[in-house]
Chains A and B, each alone.
Chain A
Amino acid sequence: MLEVKNLHAYYGKSHILHGVHLNVSKGEIVSLLGRNGVGRSTTIKAVMGQVEHTGAVEFNGENLSGLPTYRIARKGLGYVPENRDIFPALTTRQNLLLGMKGTRQSGRWSEEDMFNLFPRLRERAAAPAGVLSGGEQQMLTLCRTLMGDPDLVMIDEPTEGLAPKIVEQMAHLFEEIRNRGVSILLVEQKLTIALRISQRVYVMGHGRIVFEGSPEDLRANESVRKEWLEV
């Protein structure tokens, strides 16, 4: 459903992406792995129209290049940024409400679903989102994007800095998301979760895709892991 071809992206004069190809099919969890600074976040931002780029980005056969970000989001693409951009002055519930694209609840997810998945958010529903813990903010960011009922959600480093117990909860949620027919493009640095839940993985290095295959292929391929992933 998402097809990225020959994607080049630039920040000012520096050339960040050198012809990235990738695709995500319906109902798939795909991980985009690699070390910091190889262009994984830039790739998703380019898909969302937040970074200047050339090349083709197609979603359900439609070309997204050149569209403003809000139109891309309305086509059914969800984006959960790495830096947990919650709206600190608004309450947890208001944050969730802003995830919806219209004024009425529609689609796969309701506020009640979110509260059942993360009871902690129900307890903090009336609190300003700025006072939530890092883990709670991460859940909120993800739930907020899901409230907009995306068909594909791109999640940037969701487990970064989280306690192992919350990481487990996250992994559970990713599977729940897929069960409802939503695809996931997961950007990760850690292999544990990614290899367990993904159908396919890409490894990026220096602005290019350097490996593509199943989690088993990557486990078996020590040279790729050594060169591009392990620190």
Chain B
Amino acid sequence: MRAFWGSQLEFFLVTLLNSLSYGLLLFMLSSGLTLIFSMMGVLNFAHASFYMLGAYFAYQTGAYIGFWPALFIAPILVGILGAVTERYGLRTVHKFGHVAELLFTFGLAYVIEEVVHLVWGRAPVDYRVPESLDFTLFTLFTTQYPAYRAFMMLISVGMLISLFLLLTRTRVGMVVQASLTHPDMVEALGHNVPRVFMMVFAGGCALAGLAGVLGGNMFITEPGMAFAVGSIVFVVVVFGGMGSLAGAFVASLIIGTLQTFSVALDFSMLGVLGAIGISVSEDSNWYGLWSITISQTAPVLPYLLMVLMLIVRPRGLMGTRES
């Protein structure tokens, strides 16, 4: 019995740590998306594509100069691409309205995916955790906790604190905060708001790129990664509330935890019913439904949560906009 509870505790703690590192990674993506959305009113469909580019750039530059320089260079490259996208793409399309902007980012996501196909092929690339971080940090009961996951958390938390300080303690951050609600007024006071827009877009893309550098080797670097992660990031942003950084943070952790735990849980209603002494025969009409395990529902849970949120509270957890 002791051993049983011990293993349960072990499962719980390890999964919680994994949830946290995954949730923080999601926040690195959703924070940029949220900032860009609040400021420009554009939901950037290509956001996760910049995440993918981060992973591929890190893989490619890492092959020549190693992981550590790539950790800095890849996000910067992605940020520069973001700046160019804003300056010469979005800004040009802007005068045709939000629909045009949305379509532009939508098309861009496909273009980036095709370019990735052309350059790196359709199969996953061998982007690995660097050797210097490929060891067991500590052993919890019987689980060996990889150092790289801890490193991911460290970088994510560092990024979180820097972003917070940048937004609340610096003049640039104040201009950004003010532009979130009243961009026209900020510009009328003599601040170069178009440049601030470009910087925020580039910064958001660089964050996505950093997430790609960190997540690409932890998970897998392949052309489908953008769409896989992109849809989850949208769930996070809608769930947390469009335009709210705090909401995006809470939602990232909730969705991260939900996904990580649900994948690992093997319970089904059948088991629960069995535990309280009700047995369901295999001939029963509902047997199929009762026997679905939580892990089988894992992929759909985030979307279910989003739909529920949209029904109960359409502006999300901490959203400020109605639409």
Interface residues of B in 128-184 (CB under 8 A from A): 171, 174-175, 177-178, 180-182, 184
B288, CB-defined interface residue at 8 Å: no
- The answer on a CB contact under 8 Å between A70 and B192 is yes
In chain A, what residue has the closest Cβ to B188? A79
Distance, CA A39 to CA B108, complexed state (A): 41
Sorted from nearest, which 7 A-B pairs have the closest CB atoms?
A: A73-B190, A85-B185, A87-B178, A101-B190, A69-B187, A85-B182, A79-B188
Q: Is B276 in the interface zone, CB < 8 Å from A? A: no
Interface membership of A50, Cβ < 8 A: yes
Structural contact, B171 and A148, CB atoms closer than 8 A: no
Cα distance A103–B187 when bound, in Å?
16
The answer on a CB contact under 8 Å between A98 and B184 is no
Contact: B188 with A81, CB < 8 Å? yes
Are B194's CB and A68's CB within 8 A?
yes
Q: How many residues of A contact B (CB 8 A)?
A: 23
Instruction: Indicate if the CB atoms of A48 and B178 lie closer than 8 Å.
Output: no
Which stretch in A53-61, A89-97, A117-125 binds the other chain? A89-97
Contacts from B to A (Cβ < 8 Å): 171, 174-175, 177-178, 180-182, 184-194
Q: Is there contact, CB below 8 Å, between B174 and A90? A: yes
Does A144 touch B at the CB level, under 8 Å?
A: yes
Report if A87-B190 is in contact (Cβ < 8 Å); known contacts: A97-B174, A98-B175, A103-B171.
Answer: no
Query: 4 other contacts beyond A68-B194, A87-B185, A89-B181, with CB at 8 A cut-off?
Result: A48-B188, A87-B186, A90-B177, A98-B175
Contact with B along A100-112 (1 / 0, CB 8 A): 0101000000000
Q: Which A residue's beta carbon lies closest to that of B194?
A: A68
What residues of A have a CB within 8 angstroms of the CB of B184 in the complex? 50, 69, 85
**Inter-chain contacts of B178 with A (CB < 8 A):** 87, 90, 98
Q: Is A99 in contact with chain B by the CB < 8 A criterion?
A: yes
- Kindly state the separation between the CA atoms of A99 and B58 in the bound complex, as whole angstroms: 41
The minimal Cβ–Cβ distance linking B198 to chain A, given in whole angstroms, is 13
Complex partner residue of B190 from A89, A94, A148, CB under 8 angstroms: A148
- Majority SS of interface residues in chain B? helix
When the two chains form their complex, are residues B189 and A89 in contact, meaning their CB atoms are under 8 A apart?
A: no
| A101:B189 contact, CB within 8 angstroms | yes
Contact assessment for B185 and A81 in the assembled complex, using a CB-CB cutoff below 8 Å? yes
B188 near A69: Cβ-Cβ < 8 Å:
yes
- Cβ of B181 and Cβ of A70 under 8 Å apart? no
Closest approach, in angstroms, between the C-beta of A6 and any C-beta of chain B?
A: 24
Minimum CB distance partner of B193 in chain A: A70
- The reply to whether B190 and A70 form a contact with Cβ atoms under 8 Å apart is yes
Nearest CB of B to A186, in Å: 17
**Shortest CB–CB separation between residue A113 and chain B, in angstroms?**
17
List, sorted by A's number, 29 A–B pairs whose CB atoms are closer than 8 Å: A48-B188, A68-B187, A68-B194, A69-B193, A70-B188, A70-B192, A73-B187, A73-B188, A74-B190, A79-B188, A81-B185, A85-B184, A87-B177, A87-B178, A87-B182, A87-B185, A89-B180, A89-B181, A90-B174, A90-B177, A90-B178, A98-B174, A98-B178, A98-B186, A101-B189, A101-B190, A101-B191, A145-B189, A148-B190
Tell which of A68, A88, A94, A98 touches B189, judged by Cβ atoms closer than 8 Å.
A98
Interface positions, chain A 133-178, Cβ under 8 Å from B, are 144-145, 148
- In the assembled complex, which residues on chain B have CB atoms less than 8 Å from the CB atom of A50? 184, 188
Alpha-carbon gap, A144 to B182, bound state (A)? 14
Query: Among B177, B190, B191, which residue has the most Cβ atoms of chain A within 10 A?
Result: B190
